[in-house]
Amino acid sequence: MKVLAFGAHPDDVEFRCSGTLSLLADRGWEVAIATVTGGGGGSMEHPAEVIRRIRLAEAKAAADLLGAQYVWAGGIDMDVDFRHDLRVKVVHVLRQVRPDVVITLPPGDYHSDHTETSALVRAGCFFAPIPNYPEQSLEPIARVPRLYYMSAETDWYGRPFPVSFVVDVSDRRDLKERMLVRHASQRNWIRDHHGTDDYVAALHGRAASMGARVGFGAGEGFIQHLGGGYPHDDPIGEALADRVRKTGEVLPFPT
C-alpha cells in the first residue's frame, strides 16, 4: 500500500499528519510527500528564488526522516488557484507517485493556497485514471485513490474543525518535532508574519488539542472523502485500527 500526503507548502504535512505517516511506514506502507508550491513566499528576508531553494531542501530533509519520497508539483506560493495548468501538474504528480491512498488539506482551510490545493488534489485523484486527461506524459493510474483530508484544527471563525476520526500519535511526538525543525527557515517566517515565536510548541499544542477530543495524549484528525466515484473502503482505519477512535462529530458542509 502506498500513501501520498499532498500539501500546499513545505511543512503542511509535518504539522498535520507526519505521525500517521510514520505509523503507516512502520506497518509496511510506502510513503511519499508532495507539495503544490515550493515555499517561495515563506520569508520576510529572502527573495522568492532563494527561500524556495532553501525550503525544497528542508522538505526533502524532513521526508528523509520517514524514508519518504518528496515531490514539488511546480506551483508558486500565493498563486494557487483551481485552474488548468495546476490541475495538470497535480495529475502528473499522482501519475508519477501512483498512490493507493492520498491525504490532502481540507476544504475551508485558513489559507487560500490550502483551500485551492484541496480542490486541486480532489480533482486530480478523479482525473488521474482517465486516459484522455490532457496530462499524457505518464500512464494513467489504475483507479481513483482513497482520499482523506487532514484536519485544519479550526475553521475560518476559530471554531474546532470537525473530524471523523483521530489517530493516536502520542509516541510520535518526537518524530513530528524532528521533521518540523528541519524547516528551520520557518521559525523566522512564523514569528514575523504570524506573531508567534515557537512553532514547535504550536505543533505539540495542536496535536494535544486534537488528541484530547478522543482521550489521546496527541492525535491527528482526518475526514475521508466519500463522494461519488471515490472509494469508500478505509485502509488507514483498517491499518491503524488499534490507534483510531471515531469522534461522532458533525462534519462540515463542503466549502
Report phi then psi at 117, rounded to 5: -60, -40
- Tell me the sheet residues that pair with 10: none
Q: Which of 123, 162, 172, 157 is nearest to 248 (CA)?
A: 162
Going from N- to C-terminal start, the domains of the chain cover 2-246
Position of cell 487560500?
A: 112
* pLDDT at site 135: 83
Strand ranges in 10-85 using DSSP code E only, listed in sequence order: 30-37, 69-75
Mean pLDDT of 27-52: 89
* pLDDT at site 189: 62
Evaluated on CA atoms 105, 107, 110, 111, the torsion sign reads positive
Q: Which of 189, 174, 224 is nearest to 18 (CA)?
A: 174
Mean pLDDT of 103-117: 94
Q: Give CA 95 to chain center in angstroms.
A: 18
- Could you tell me which CATH number the domain at 2-246 has? 3.40.50.10320
Question: What are the grid coordinates assigned to 69, written together?
Answer: 519520497
Model confidence, pTM: 0.94
pLDDT at 187 over 90: no
pLDDT at 35 over 60: yes
> What would the 3-class secondary structure string for 122-165 be?
HHHHHHCCCCCCCCCCCCCCCCCCEEEEECCCECCCCCECCCCE
- Is the CB of residue 123 less than 8 Å from the CB of residue 145? no
Cα separation, 114 vs 99, whole angstroms: 21
Mean pLDDT of 25-50: 89
| Helix (DSSP H) and strand (DSSP E) numbers for the chain | 9, 8
* pLDDT at site 193: 55
Cα separation, 253 vs 88, whole angstroms: 27
Give the mean pLDDT of the chain.
93
Q: Judging by DSSP bridges, how do beta strands 69-75 and 30-37 pair with one another?
A: parallel
Interval 48-93: pLDDT, tens: 888 999 999 999 999 999 999 999 999 999 999 999 999 999 999 9
* pLDDT at site 254: 60
Residue 255 confidence class, pLDDT cut points 50, 70, 90: low
* pLDDT at site 191: 58
pLDDT at 34 over 90: yes
Residue 184 confidence class, pLDDT cut points 50, 70, 90: confident
